[in-house]
Amino acid sequence: MTARQSYNDEHRALIESAHRLLPGGSVGNVYDDTILRRGAGSRVHDVSDNEYIDYLLGSGPMLCGHAHPQVTEAVRRQIEHGTTFFATHELAIALAEQIVAAVPCAEQVRFTGTGTEATLYAMRVARAARGRDRILKFEGGYHGMNDYALMSTFASGSAELPAAEPDSAGLPGSVADEVLVAPFNDIDATAAIIERHHDELAAVIVEPMQRVIPPLPRFLPSLRALTAKHGILLIFDEIVTGFRLAYDGAQGYYGVVPDLCTIGKVMAGGFPLAAVTGRSDLLACFDPSSRADGRYLPQYGTFNGNPVAAAAALATLDLLRRPGTYDRLFDIGRELMAGLRAAFAEADIPVQVMGEPPVFDIFFTDQTITTYRDTLTNDVAAVRRFNRHLLDRGIFRPDSKFYVSVVHSPTDVEQTIAAFADAARALRDE
């Protein structure tokens, strides 16, 4: 551990308390002994006051950086007027209007507290609207922690598709029978599964960029055509890509419009808020008047459209609409991706740098990656060592993905690329 990473007595005591009080010593996301205290802009500090350039960004939401003054002030103003109502309020209406204006598929909006809830309800809407039970997802695709989403996200790669592999203990055995699984980016195999099972399918749910695997050029357009042909609903899970790849999300970036989509993360600037959006005839399932035709889908939630989170979201979207925001984001990401590739080329270590400039990752393999099963060639032990080397050099990305923010500075980029080079040499010399 370098001096940068030295832990003081308070930090060590908190580590002991965390392992005594929290399963695995964690709130459930990052399992290491970094305990953060504060963040500002592109950087975070731990309780020992070690400073890190942050590429975790709260798992993506902090596109405008930590504690942005405009977002903080909007939240402060709203807190003075109340923190939750369990009733419709003006900020929820204003935010829904902004979402409908931004997201190509959006005609109406139903708010949730988390992305897991949003994907759960999107699939439930599809079942209610189409009158079918089965959902098709893609191997390696992540759609949150609900039962139907936790299928083949962390797949072994040995299953004969479209069979689903449960990802968690405690799931009802019957759930796996309701989920079919196809290989992302293989449109021919996907088409064969859809043709065989189209009468049973309510929807296909997909991350338009699956984790950090971009879609091949014909994949999403062909998937849209296939689902439309059979009247199957297409759901884009844009919890990660919404407002990150572009202001109009992956739908605008890749030019394909689904029937429903889920958004979250970036939208609320670090506050817990997500949404299901899409065609109004589908979101009508949430309207109590749909009881008459048996399609009503109750969706109570104490914090649905929470006004503090809505205030943060409105401030965040205002920042993202400023001219040049996404040009700057992509420029930063491209420079970081190029620096990462160059560092490992210089060290003569084969890697694949995958994704789009606003969010990308590194795989320690010489295998070209276009599908989930290609990622299984990744040397995960090398990834862990790389992350440790980066942390020792003041770069925070504890697990996977580099999330880029619009407030990462030229100095941040320069220091990060230098850390990439140091870490690559350290890996080579181990």
* Contact between 232 and 202 (Cβ < 8 Å): yes
Domains of the chain (ranges; CATH) run: 3-67+324-429 (3.90.1150.10), 69-320 (3.40.640.10)
* Contact between 130 and 233 (Cβ < 8 Å): yes
10-residue mean pLDDT profile of the chain (430 residues): values are 68 92 90 91 96 97 98 98 96 98 98 97 97 97 96 95 96 95 98 98 98 98 98 98 98 98 96 98 95 92 96 98 98 98 98 98 97 97 96 92 98 98 96
Residue 173 is encoded by which pair of tokens?
């055995």
* Contact between 105 and 277 (Cβ < 8 Å): yes
Query: Among residues 165, 119, 174, 176, which one has the least CA distance to residue 142?
Result: 119
pLDDT score, position 226: 98
pLDDT score, position 5: 65
* pTM of structure: 0.96
- Which position among 7, 142, 148, 254 bears the catalytic label? 142
Q: State how far the Cα of 236 lies from the Cα of 220, in Å rounded to an integer.
A: 10
Reply yes or no on whether 265 is catalytic. yes
| Alpha carbon 238 to its chain's center | 7
In this structure, the dihedral spanned by the alpha carbons of residues 325, 329, 330 and 334, taken in order and rounded to 10 degrees, is 150
Q: What is the CA radius of gyration of the chain?
A: 22
- Which position among 148, 265, 326, 403 bears the catalytic label? 265
* Contact between 235 and 259 (Cβ < 8 Å): yes
pLDDT score, position 248: 98
Q: State how far the Cα of 425 lies from the Cα of 158, in Å rounded to an integer.
A: 35
Residue 159 is encoded by which pair of tokens?
């299953």
pLDDT score, position 340: 98
- Which position among 237, 361, 374, 412 bears the catalytic label? 237
pLDDT score, position 1: 36
Reply yes or no on whether 259 is catalytic. no
Q: State how far the Cα of 101 lies from the Cα of 54, in Å rounded to an integer.
A: 31
Q: State how far the Cα of 184 lies from the Cα of 254, in Å rounded to an integer.
A: 15
Residue 279 is encoded by which pair of tokens?
């065609």
- Give CA separation, 128 vs 124, 145, 263, 291, in Å: 6, 21, 20, 11
Q: State how far the Cα of 233 lies from the Cα of 272, in Å rounded to an integer.
A: 27
